[in-house]
Structure 1
Amino acid sequence: MTLSLIRCYSTVTEPASPDFIDQFYSVGAKIQAHRPKAVTQSSGYLGLVMSLGLSRPAALFIVEGPDGPVARAGVFQRSSAPRSGVIGLYETMPDPEGAKAARLVLGGAMEWASDHDLDEVFAPVDVNTWFKYRVMLYPEKEVFAPDPFSWEPTTPPEYQRHFVDQGFEVAASFESIGLHIPDDGEYTFGDLLARTKSGYDSAITSGLRIERLSSEEVQEVLPAVHVLCDDAFAENLLFEPIPLQAFQALYGEALAGMPKHYTFLARGQEDQIAGFLFAFPDRDWLVFKTIAVASDMRGRRLGTALMHAVYREADRADLRRFITALVHQDNVSRFLLDPEKMPGVETWTRRYELLRKCVSPGASNL
């Protein structure tokens, strides 16, 4: 099968043409049509990702085969680390065509990275970690786990192999843990409420207020939450701040589709925001998506306090299934719902990887 690579380089002063961007979008839709289980990316998501991605040096690639497009990807310089880049918006047809196209499109991206003096490239990352990133791993033996939840970075099994075959290595590992905590048994939902209550009581005694917000109230405080997240996540791998307008669009779209979300805010005595938690129901699971604690409040169990507030509301709604979503394996928040401390509780784990490759100057990088 003969394949051809189409390139479009983009700079701040000479951005990619609207026609090529439209073609890039349409290629993704055509490829996703061959993957029935794929999560279709909304035009709003693509527009937001691309607006940020093309605000820095970047390149877009399309691989064409005899019967049409077989792959696409973008490579983007990181705004906060100009010697580092990411490959994202990655889509291929199913193997074996996909594997052949992957070699071509990833080779083109690494060549661009070398030409632009990058030292390393991470993948897959849709521009930055505010958006979809990581590959999902699939266990060799079939084990129970529910269908993917909203915002989960679902990827076909072969994507991880595509990157590894081209020399990418694991840079970081993540996991989502699901637990069904019943009302009776060796460890119960009542035990969970009791275990987390001291953290909540300590926060209230110290003068903090913890309150649940409606969608309208969340919209009002998003500028302050934006500042909090920049502070709370500043040391996270690959973190880069995004403009307030993009942050509002990202959470605004999420809230519009999740009217029964569980969003809590912790405020100090002077009304400053000290912590933020965003969780949402997905079928009969409650997914903990974002927990942000101000840097000067760490070590005071404020994360536990926020989760206790959620558990109390979950109790009223008879929710007993919880997911801690997409947590870095070294992040202390993964212990906020630790199955090792809950004997007899039904649990499942899904794992993900972020991959990295060093750039060889002047080489093809294949």
Structure 2
Amino acid sequence: MNTQVFKTDGAKITVFLDGPDWDGAATATVGAFTCKTPESGAEVLDQAITFIRTQGIRQILGPMDGDTWHSYRGVIQTDGSPAFLLEPRDSLGELEVLKAAGFAQISGYFSARVPLVQTAQTVPPETANFSIETWDGSDPEKLFDQVFELSCEAFSRNAFYKPISRDAFMAMYMPMVGVLKRELIFFARRPDGTLAGFLFGTPNYAEGPKPTSAILKTYASLERGAGQHLAYAFHKAALAEGYDTAIHALIHDDNLSGLRSAAEHADVFRRYGLFGLKLDG
């Protein structure tokens, strides 16, 4: 990844020159942005923008560590509740610096929570197109290999998608094997055994070694209705495992999963934004 780090007294930012396309044009991203004061943040951001200009790039996304496979988005609204596992950090100060430089929000996301006793009230309609199964806990490399293939196909339709190599994907996700809880990982499989969808849930270890909430972190599907079945299975399993609360994490405002979260009467507790800047000239 073609990157450049800029530092000033009290601020730091990383430029990723090979970001995802935005409106069909080459785009850089800025991420890993921290600043102690608005002035130090503005100074380091100006250096980053000047550098991007010299590279002939006229579009910038942020906060984003290169692509949507890595950390991106910043908190724009919160009720002050503690961060959950793998959540983007609170970056309101840095976002104000971005906005002052002309960045505008171009995409929105939210996280919501719901008591598990009020979830999974409606059984999804039966289907012969796929069946839901849990991960048996064996061969994690094979698990992530299948997840990689389906993710690339399912997420390729998303805005700001950028392909990733299998090796890069494995390097990100294999270190997570030690914290995976197989009872919260589900697959939707077609009758021929091929993968139609997956859902990764995880205990919210940010609460400590005995968390009371479980996170519906990531799911993707290629078959209509698979997401609904996967979410139903997750909520039932999380309740059976003794968790009190489900966290519906990092959902795009326009995503169908947002409607499902609302149908469970989940309460939004955090909102996030992705911002963009188009440079003149």
1:252 aligns with 2:187: no
1:223 aligns with 2:138: no
Match of 1:76 among 8, 11, 16: 16
Instruction: Assess if the C-alpha contact under 8 Å between 1:89 and 1:126 holds in 2.
Output: yes
Shift of 1:164: 0.7
Distance 1:261 1:88 in 2: 34
Map of 2:55 onto structure 1: 116
Map of 1:286 onto structure 2: 214
Instruction: Assess if the C-alpha contact under 8 Å between 1:255 and 1:261 holds in 2.
Output: no
Map of 2:165 onto structure 1: 243
Map of 2:29 onto structure 1: 86
Map of 2:114 onto structure 1: 179
Write the mapping of 1:139-178 to structure 2, written as runs, cut at 5 A.
139=78, 143=79, 146-178=81-113
Which AA in structure 1 matches 2:54? D
1:276 aligns with 2:198: yes
Distance 1:262 1:242 in 2: 25
Distance 2:174 2:136 in 1: 12
Write the mapping of 1:1-366 to structure 2, written as runs, cut at 5 A.
53-54=1-2, 58-63=3-8, 65=9, 70-78=10-18, 80-81=20-21, 83-92=26-35, 94-95=36-37, 99-139=38-78, 143=79, 146-182=81-117, 189=118, 192-195=119-122, 197-199=123-125, 201-202=126-127, 205-206=128-129, 208-259=130-181, 262-282=184-204, 283-294=211-222, 297=223, 300-338=224-262, 342=265, 347-361=267-281
For residues 226-255 of structure 1, give each alpha carbon's deviation from its aligned partner in whole angstroms, at most 9, with x where no partner exists: 111011111212111211112112222223
Shift of 1:151: 0.9
Count of residue pairs brought into register by the alignment = 272
Q: Which runs of 4+ in 1 moved over 6 A?
A: none
Distance 2:170 2:85 in 1: 18
Whose Rg is larger? Answer: 1
Shift of 1:312: 2.6
Instruction: Assess if the C-alpha contact under 8 Å between 2:73 and 2:273 holds in 1.
Output: yes
Shift of 1:216: 3.1
Distance 1:234 1:113 in 2: 26
For residues 67-124 of structure 1, give each alpha carbon's deviation from its aligned partner in whole angstroms, at most 9, with x where no partner exists: xxx22111112355362110012122x22xxx12212211111112222222310111
Instruction: Assess if the C-alpha contact under 8 Å between 1:214 and 1:263 holds in 2.
Output: no
* Aligned-partner SS, 1:151: coil
For residues 130-155 of structure 1, give each alpha carbon's deviation from its aligned partner in whole angstroms, at most 9, with x where no partner exists: 1111111245xxx4x53111110013
**How does the TM-score come out when normalised to structure 1?**
0.69
* Aligned-partner SS, 1:193: coil
- Using the aligned pairs only, state the percent identity: 22
Instruction: Assess if the C-alpha contact under 8 Å between 1:123 and 1:134 holds in 2.
Output: yes
Distance 1:83 1:315 in 2: 45
Map of 2:207 onto structure 1: none
RMSD: 2.0
In structure 1, the gaps of 5 or more residues are: 1-52, 183-188, 362-366
* Aligned-partner SS, 1:308: helix
For residues 193-235 of structure 1, give each alpha carbon's deviation from its aligned partner in whole angstroms, at most 9, with x where no partner exists: 341x224x22xx33x2321114434431222211110111112
Shift of 1:181: 4.1
Instruction: Assess if the C-alpha contact under 8 Å between 2:20 and 2:67 holds in 1.
Output: no
* Aligned-partner SS, 2:158: coil
Which AA in structure 1 matches 2:257? S
Distance 1:77 1:237 in 2: 18
**How does the TM-score come out when normalised to structure 2?**
0.89
Q: Relative contact order (alpha carbons < 8 A, sep ≥ 6): 1 or 2 greater?
A: 2
Which AA in structure 2 matches 1:356? G
Give the direction of change, closer, same or farther, for the CA distance of 1:149–1:260 in structure 2 (3 Å limit).
farther
